[in-house]
Amino acid sequence: MAHILIADDEPSVRDVLRSQLAAFGHEVTAVENGRLAAEAVLRTEYDLIVSDIRMPEMDGIQFLKTVLPRVEGTTPCIVLTGFHDVSHAIRAIQAGAYDYVRKPWELDDIRLAVNRALQRRADLKFRRDYQTDLERRVQEAVAELKATYDGTIVGFAAILEGKDTTTADHCTRVRDMCSRLGRELGLGTDRVRDLELGAMLHDIGKCKVPDAILNKPGALTPDEWTTMRLHPEFGGEIVEKIAFLRGASEVVRCHHERWDGKGYPKGLREREIPLAARIFMVVDAYDTITSKRPYKEPQPPEAAIDEIRRCAGTHFDPEVVAAFERVFPEFAQATRARHASAAVHAPVPVG
Ligand SMILES: [Fe+2]
């Protein structure tokens, strides 16, 4: 059984058609003009529309142009034409009608036209449902792949830094805050994704810096600093060899540049530094200041934003800092919750 919408201004035509279609076993809704039919398709998905071509308020051609975009091409429309209205029938087909039936019709004419149109409806619906299902499965597969990548990268970044899981937490926090700040600054989905990857892998180049330099307890010599300052370029070379990480290289290569040109390795300044790297630098500073390190206690969010404001125009892009101020209340709330949780779970001194 199909649900069929009839639009015709003549009550006698509506009644005949309604009883014929009902006799074929279909559910029928009948309205008296194109405007009402155009409203009806917004409320209900019909399997078929049968419309007169000459109607007050909205004629059949105008009706087709209004309704067909609303039914997304999956509900066919048959138009009813006068016996000599061939030119109208042609215009209706050109406007997207699936078929036409001339008045007055024989019962078999309408049965054949309706059955053909409903078969068309079934084909279109099958194709639409198949496509929707395919898109859903692709989205699920992409989400699963992304989660797998992220898990691998977070773990990898933590191992690189030779630290415990707090480093992984730092990675995911910085990634999520970069994502939020990137969207605040109008980055699209792909660029936000590259920013997230760059945030997680920014120090990957340290794996090419000798341990004797990385783990040196005292101050580095000038030569050792020269080597240390190459880690962004080492990292860029690594990620650019891996197709799905290539977009991360802007952050990896430029995460130690500064807005005033006093950073490294290239001394880029202002907008020479990619936006993704400028975003990362502010977020990384915020997370570092508000996190516990072996050499310092965590600072409250307000101390972090004071320091970030102070460094706007020297270390940081002032526009990125302004955007950071807008999302700061969200970040501060999450930070306070993290600090409160750490205080609850802190070990109790013995003795
Ligand atoms: Fe670094």
CA of 190 relative to ligand 1 center, distance in Å: 23
CA dist 259 → 175, 186, 274 (Å) = 21, 20, 11
Q: From CA 280, how far away is CA 118, in angstroms rounded?
A: 56
- pLDDT (tens digit per residue) in 310-343: 999 999 999 999 999 999 999 999 999 988 887 7
CATH number for 3-132: choose from 3.40.50.2300, 3.30.470.10, 3.40.630.30, 2.40.50.100: 3.40.50.2300
- Top mean pLDDT of 119-128, 215-224, 227-236, 304-313 is at 304-313
pLDDT given for residue 73 in this prediction: 79
CA of 188 relative to ligand 1 center, distance in Å: 25
- pLDDT (tens digit per residue) in 104-132: 899 999 999 999 999 999 998 898 888 88
pLDDT at 344 over 80: no
Domain ranges of the chain: 3-132, 161-342
Within 13 Å of residue 161, how many CA atoms lie on the same side as its CB?
18
Q: Which residue has the tokens 């919408």?
A: 5
Please provide the size of the chain in residues.
351
Give percent of the chain with pLDDT exceeding 90: 60
Q: Does domain 161-342 correspond to CATH entry 3.40.50.970?
A: no
Six token digits for residue 259: 């807005």
Mean of the per-residue pLDDT values of the chain: 89
Instruction: Please check whether the two domains, 3-132 and 161-342, share a CATH topology.
Output: no
pTM for the predicted model, two decimal places: 0.60
At 312 the three-state DSSP class reads strand
Give helix 275-289 / helix 301-310 axis angle, nearest 10°: 140
CA of 251 relative to ligand 1 center, distance in Å: 10
pLDDT given for residue 207 in this prediction: 84
pLDDT bucket at 168, cuts 50 / 70 / 90: low
Give percent of the chain with pLDDT exceeding 70: 95
CA of 341 relative to ligand 1 center, distance in Å: 28
pLDDT given for residue 71 in this prediction: 85
